[in-house]
Amino acid sequence: MPIIVIGGHSRSVGKTSVVVGLISAFPDRDWTALKITQYGHGVCSANGEACDCATTDHSWAVSEEKDRLGESDTSRFLVAGADHSWWVRTQQGRLAEAMPRIRKILATTQNAIIESNSILRFLRPDLCLTVLDPHTPDFKDSAQTFLDRADAVLLHSVENSKDPAWQRVSLRPVIGRPMFEIRPPNYVTPEIVEFVRSRLSSF
């Protein structure tokens, strides 16, 4: 069972769109998709706004998405062709407590694709892609910590841009890794599909 992890240095850089694109590109893979959201102080890491992600009685929650209208990220996974879609919500720093439930889900799936950086602290995927947008200044600590785990980088086009907006960020961990330019709204190019296909060929 292959596991793919899609990470990124900030919110709104296209992680969900990459997951959707890969699910669509490999419709025969019977995907189970997971989105991991961490929250703290009433603010969601998905968009930085006040949210209802927090659970009142637990430090984490896991819910299966059933809606296929495409209005939420996890619903978009189903619309793209995933067999199952799950939303994992945890307090900041409490993902470890949800890992037994996540591992149980992964144990029952043919192919898994996970949108998260922090999951890399607890498992080693068969393929990890990270999405970087030089125009977005925020660079999460988790993205920097696990940057060296990326097998390839999906880099937003830097046309008409002199320098990345990031501050005090080193890309040395991914020097020499395959790098694919993306131009939204096209987040998954034929070259990316072929790269992923080659990595999945043994599964």
CATH number of the domain to which 115 belongs:
3.40.50
What is the reported pLDDT for 45? 42
Domain tally, the chain: 1
What is the reported pLDDT for 162? 64
Provide CB contacts within 8 A for 57, sequence distance 6+.
Answer: none
What is the reported pLDDT for 52? 52
What is the reported pLDDT for 111? 97
What is the reported pLDDT for 158? 79
- pTM here is 0.89
Residue ranges in the chain whose pLDDT is less than 50 = 41-51, 54, 57
Print the domain residue range for 146: 3-200
What is the reported pLDDT for 93? 87
What is the reported pLDDT for 185? 93
